[in-house]
Amino acid sequence: MTHWKFGIIGGSGLYDLPGLTDVSHRVVETPWGAPSDALTTGTLNGVDIVFLPRHGRGHRIPPHDINYRANIAALKMAGCSDIISISACGSLKAELPPGRFVVVDQYIDRTRSRANSFFDTGCAAHVSIAEPVCHRLAALAAEAAEAAGAPVTRGGTYLAMEGPQFSSRAESALYRSWGCDVIGMTNMPEARLAREAELPYASIAMVTDYDSWKVDEAAVDVPAVLAVMRQNADLAQLTIARLTDMVSDRDRTPSPQGIETGLDTAIITPPDARDPELVRKLKAIAGRVL
């Protein structure tokens, strides 16, 4: 058994966590470069928290230019046991209105220019992301959001688009025809990389708009997104407080999905064929098996 240590990756509007004590800020460097910003560490309800603003403070970094590998590696190197992703998203269904929290459980990845693996030529690995989120962690996140007073939908498919532009109406209609529930620009390759780093990952996607499919309403734009995000931010902060309170008296056991040992059978390159320089880098996230 180990203790809980949550890595919180927050989007815009979630730069501070009220009630966080023993706060410190630490600039870190990973083998894949610098993360989006300094890590904020502290304790909330007796539970360790490491917070990382996904876009950097002041929202400096657009979704397609985030160093996702450095972000996940920084949280792994900080000793996090689990990652909660909190982000804004668009809704692709009328029954998921702005203000709704969707704890997603599946992804369709339409990103195209992002480094989506820690592994590379010299050390190949193939992890399964058939179930890309941690079921236990997602259930805890949903319960915490409900306790915070948020309207919550448990489960849903997140379409990860490249951005930074919003969808065309034709694209939005296409994604709806695929059965997607919400659309956003940041959860991939986050979820992929978290699985490679053997970190349980769950995502709370906070609906801000109807993307571009709802022809009887104006298409999504930044002012509309920001207006709803301000409302969601308080609930998101309260959700994290409720989550830490819920687990404060519970020992943490390994994920029932075996996520913490996912690399045991994933690395295909034999030791004598591995690139030593790449292995040196990989030890930051896969030292347990290398």
Active site residues: 209, 211
Contacts with 27 (C-beta within 8 Å, 6 or more apart), sequence order: 34, 38
Rounded Cα distance, 188 and 110, in Å: 9
**Cα 63–Cα 69–Cα 70 angle in degrees, nearest 5:** 95
Q: Kind of pairing, strands 82-91 and 182-184?
A: antiparallel
103 contacts 153 by C-beta, under 8 angstroms: yes
Own/partner pairs for 219-227, CB < 8 Å, 24+ apart? Answer: 219/166, 219/169, 220/90, 220/166, 220/167, 221/166, 225/88, 226/12
Greatest Cα-to-Cα distance within the chain, rounded to the nearest angstrom: 61
Closest by Cα among 273, 253, 266 to 121: 273
* Helix, strand or coil, per DSSP, at residue 22: strand
Joined together, the tokens standing for residue 207 give: 């609906």
Q: Could you give phi then psi for residue 180, rounded to 5 degrees?
A: -70, 150
164 contacts 185 by C-beta, under 8 angstroms: yes
Q: How many residues does the chain have?
A: 290
